[in-house]
């Protein structure tokens, strides 16, 4: 039951932060920049957390669960990403659709890899 509560708390915190970032940044750009930033940042965070927690055992399993499954799960959002891409297609904005979709996927994966790499670098300092 403790693990469920940790995921609940982390997910709530991540969801609130995602809402704040997206609601402030999305209206200011032609692209859904808030969601984009949240998804790339969340990818970096999960790479760091998994690298430090699971592989290097520098974070407890409960901390990793809170941060990776809870916070990152609530913070990042594939459903909003999918909806926003559908909206760009619906309005015929194919350029921004291509930039947003490809950029999110490529940079998201790159951010996870960067997070794992940084976790390895931090291992020597911790």
Please give the C-alpha separations between residue 24 and each of 20, 66, 74, 126, in angstroms, as whole numbers: 6, 25, 18, 36
Q: Per the annotation, does 70 bind a ligand?
A: no
CA distance 44 to 23: 21
Q: How many CB atoms lie within 10 A of CB 58?
A: 16
Question: Cβ neighbours of residue 86 under 8 Å, at least 6 residues apart?
Answer: none
**Nearest of 112, 119, 97 to residue 43 by alpha carbon:** 112
Tokens matching residue 79: 């459903």
Q: How many CB atoms lie within 10 A of CB 82?
A: 11
Q: Per the annotation, does 73 bind a ligand?
A: yes
Annotated binding site for Na(+): 73, 76
């Amino acid at each position: 039951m403790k693990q469920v509560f940790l995921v609940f708390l982390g997910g709530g915190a991540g969801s609130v932060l995602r809402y704040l970032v997206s609601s402030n940044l999305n209206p200011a750009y032609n692209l859904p920049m808030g969601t984009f930033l949240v998804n790339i940042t969340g990818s970096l965070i999960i790479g760091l957390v998994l690298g430090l927690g699971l592989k290097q055992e520098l974070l407890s399993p409960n901390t990793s669960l809170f941060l990776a499954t809870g916070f990152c799960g609530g913070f990042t959002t594939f459903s909003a990403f999918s909806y926003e891409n559908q909206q760009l297609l619906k309005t015929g904005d194919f350029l921004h659709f291509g930039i947003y979709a490809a950029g999110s996927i490529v940079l998201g994966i790159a951010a996870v890899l960067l997070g794992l790499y940084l976790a390895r670098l931090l291992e020597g300092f911790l």
